Amino acid sequence: MSLSMYQASVPVLIHNLKALSAILKKGADHAKARGLDPAVLVNARLFPDMFPLARQVQIATDMAKGGAARLAGVEIPSFPDTESSFPELQERLTRTIAFLKSIKPAQLEGSEQREVNLQMRMGAVSFTGQYYLLSWVMPNVYFHVTTAYNILRHNGVELGKWDFLGKAPGANIKAGKPAKKPAKKRAPRKA
C-alpha cells in the first residue's frame, strides 16, 4: 500500500499543530504559576536575530495552511499576523486545524505532480507537489514548531520529548511498567 499525498500531509500537519497547542498551553500555565507576564514568553527569542515565539507559531501555521491549500488547489486562508498572547495564538492554531480538516483526500489526488510556484526574496522557486510537501512544507513546519518548543524550554517551561512528539496517531501506548529488557547471554567462561 502506498502513502497518499493526503496521508503524508494533512493528518501529520494537524498532529504537529495539536502538539504545538499543548506546548503553548504549558507555556501559559508556566507563566501563570510563576507570576510572569505571559507577553515575556510570547515575545521571547532564542537569539536576537531570530523570530520570537509568536512569529514561530504564525509561520508554522502559515506553512501548514499554505501547503495544504496549494496542494489541494484551493485559496489559502489569510490570517493577519497580529497575535500577541497565548489565547490569540491558540485561536490561530484552532482556525488552522479547522481549515486542514476541511481538506478532503480527493482534493490532494494527483497533487504530487502539481506544479507549485512560490515568489520569495531570493526569487521565483518551482516545485512539483511531492517535493514541495517533503522538502519545503514539512521541514518548515518542523523547524518552526521545534523553535517554539525550544524558546519555551529555554525559558524554563517544563517540556520534554513527549510534549514535542504529542500522542502519535496509530500508536498503541500502554501505561504501566516498562518492558523488562531480556538478560544478556554471556558466553561460558573458559577455565
Specify if 101 maps to a domain.
Answer: yes
Backbone angles phi, psi at 119, to 5 degrees: -105, 115
Look at the chain and report how many structural domains it folds into: 1
Specify if 83 maps to a domain.
Answer: yes
Write out the chain in H/E/C secondary structure.
CCCCHHHHHHHHHHHHHHHHHHHHHHHHHHHHHHCCCHHHHHCCCCCCCCCCHHHHHHHHHHHHHHHHHHHHCCCCCCCCCCCCCHHHHHHHHHHHHHHHHHCCHHHHCCHHHCEEEEEECCEEEEEEHHHHHHHHHHHHHHHHHHHHHHHHHHCCCCCCHHHHHCCCCCCCCCCCCCCCCCCCCCCCCCC
Give me the domain span that covers residue 89: 5-105+112-165
Specify if 177 maps to a domain.
Answer: no
Residue 2 CB neighbours (<10 A): 4
Specify if 89 maps to a domain.
Answer: yes
Q: In the predicted model, what is the mean pLDDT of the chain?
A: 92
Specify if 174 maps to a domain.
Answer: no
Q: Which positions of the chain have pLDDT values less than 50?
A: none
Backbone angles phi, psi at 88, to 5 degrees: -70, -40
Residue 23 CB neighbours (<10 A): 22
Residue 154 CB neighbours (<10 A): 12
Specify if 149 maps to a domain.
Answer: yes
Specify if 183 maps to a domain.
Answer: no
Which pLDDT score is estimated for 168? 72
Specify if 187 maps to a domain.
Answer: no
Q: Does the model's pTM come out above 0.85?
A: yes
The CATH number covering residue 157 comes to: 1.20.120.450
